[in-house]
């Protein structure tokens, strides 16, 4: 609702143990003529066009997917697309949000490193009762 109320497009990625880095950055895909063309992934689109992106269940994503975020979240603030050698600087309206359930409480979630978590502002939320 906040994105809509402020005029921003919101993109969401549902992470899981099989999330591929190509879902984030993009890949070469066949067009109607059968030629391979580059198509940005969800993160690359958001960075390039200034969308807001929610990376849901981030601690379910494989390590290579998390590593793809490092340059974007550190002082460089850029996203590198290895397959095209392009580096994208974030649009001024770009915003990244991540959510996760705590490891240990829910299956398959890993503990993210302190160094990685320090790149985010963390907010802990209590479980919402079903009545609400």
pLDDT tens digits, one per residue of 14-60: 999 999 999 999 999 999 999 999 999 999 999 999 999 999 999 99
**What distance in Å separates the CA atoms of residue 28 and residue 33, rounded to the nearest whole number?**
14
- Domains in the chain (CATH in brackets) are 2-117 (3.40.50.300)
Query: What is the C-alpha to C-alpha distance for residues 71 and 20, in angstroms, rounded to an integer?
Result: 18
pTM of the model: 0.88
SS3 label, residue 25: helix
Report CA-CA distances (Å) from 92 to 38, 50, 60, 89, 104. 23, 6, 28, 9, 37
User: Residue 109 to residues 37, 52, 73, 100, 117: CA-CA distances in angstroms?
Assistant: 35, 24, 21, 8, 14
Q: What is the DSSP letter of 103?
A: B
pLDDT tens-place string over residues 59-87: 999 999 999 999 999 988 999 999 999 99
- pLDDT band for position 126 (cuts 50, 70, 90): confident
């Amino acid at each position: 609702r906040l994105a809509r109320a402020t005029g921003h497009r919101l993109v969401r990625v549902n992470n899981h143990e099989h999330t591929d880095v190509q879902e984030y950055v993009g890949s070469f895909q066949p067009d109607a003529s059968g030629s391979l063309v580059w198509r940005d992934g969800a993160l690359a689109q958001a960075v390039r066009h200034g969308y807001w992106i929610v990376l849901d269940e981030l601690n379910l994503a494989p390590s290579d997917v998390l590593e793809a975020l490092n340059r974007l979240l550190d002082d460089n603030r850029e996203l590198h697309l290895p397959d095209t050698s392009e580096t994208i600087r974030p649009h001024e309206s770009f915003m990244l949000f991540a959510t996760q359930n705590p490891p240990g409480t829910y299956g398959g979630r890993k503990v993210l490193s302190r160094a990685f978590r320090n790149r985010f502002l963390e907010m802990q939320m209590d479980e919402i009762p079903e009545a609400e």
